Every structure is written in structure tokens, then in C-alpha cells.
Amino acid sequence: MPNKLYDYEGGEFDWFLVDGKKRVALCSSAGFGEVPVSVLDGLTDENLPINEIPKLVEQMPTIGGHKTEGSGPGECIEWRQMADRGFFIFDWKHWMGPYECVLVPEVHRTIGPEATQLADSLRAVHVTQLNLEQTRSFQVADLGIDFVPVNSRYAK
């Protein structure tokens, strides 16, 4: 049962972040990005955050469009679908970062007290000092969060 980030080396590892105003972002590691240690606590193949994306796309209605930023999302349809459902999308810039905003939702999804179960299922990391609406890039280390990089050369 994998419980270390290097168990997923070489593969995409997505995780969710909630800012101080309860807005939500999907952060994509691109196989090398920093991931908060708290996301790994109790992690199994069954409860990987990436497993939630198809469920969210199916269950959540589209609430607006999105704006492309920076290098954009490439061919990733799921990212566009998530942005249309109110999620900010950040992608790790190869090789050393930072996470860069590639999609900004026109209408922001927020996670309030009634959505505690959703936040738990996403294994979301709460960063109260962050404002996603004003953030175009970040390093997890700069957020004051313990993290490990995906690439096992650095994680072991």
C-alpha cells in the first residue's frame, strides 16, 4: 500500500488546495512538483486525490467558463472541466517549479462549512494566508507547509 510520494514517481500527482476565502484549486505536480506531506497521511491507491476528478466533473454543475493563463492547460480536458466548475488550476513548471496558474474560473467554487465532507474527500490543504484570485504562481515551501517533491531522488 503506497504511502510515500516516491511510490508515485514518474506519474502525475494531483492535489487540492483551499485558500483563505475558501476558494479551491487543483494543483498538478507534473511528476516533479512539491506536494504537501499532509496529503500523504493515510494515502492509498483508493483515496488518491486524482480519483475525485471524474466524480467532481460528473456531479458538479458547470457554473461558468474560464480564462487561460500562462502556458495554458495543454490537451487536458479535465482541467478545463474543473475550471468550468469553479476550480483554479495550477501546474508545476518542469523541473524546479513553481506551480503556475494555467486556468482561472470565471465563477469561483468555495468550500463552506456545509461542504466539509467534500474537502475531506479531496484531501484538501487549507492555506489561510493564500488568495488564489491574486496568485499566479507559488512554491509549496513558501506557504510554510511541510512538503516532499514527487521525484524520489529528492524524497528519499
Mean pLDDT of 3-19: 70
Q: Which pLDDT score, from 0 to 100, does residue 116 have?
A: 62
Provide the pLDDT for residue 79. Answer: 92
Q: What is the pLDDT of residue 155?
A: 40
Of the chain, the percentage scoring pLDDT greater than 90 comes to 42
pLDDT of the residue at 7: 54
pLDDT tens, position by position, 73-124: 778 899 999 999 999 999 998 878 899 999 999 999 888 765 666 767 787 8
Is the model's pLDDT at 156 over the cut of 80?
A: no
Q: Which three cell numbers stand for residue 142?
A: 513558501
Give the length of the chain.
156
Other CB atoms closer than 10 Å to residue 19's CB: what's the count? 22
Percent of the chain with pLDDT over 70: 83
Q: What is the pLDDT, as a whole number, of residue 66?
A: 96
Q: For residue 51, give the C-alpha cell.
A: 480519483
Question: pLDDT: is 119 or 133 the higher one?
Answer: 133
Is the confidence at residue 40, as pLDDT, over 70? yes
Annotated domain spans of the chain: 5-150
Q: 57-87 in b/e burial notation, b at 16+ Cβ within 10 A?
A: eeebeeeeebeebeeebeebebbbbbbbbbb
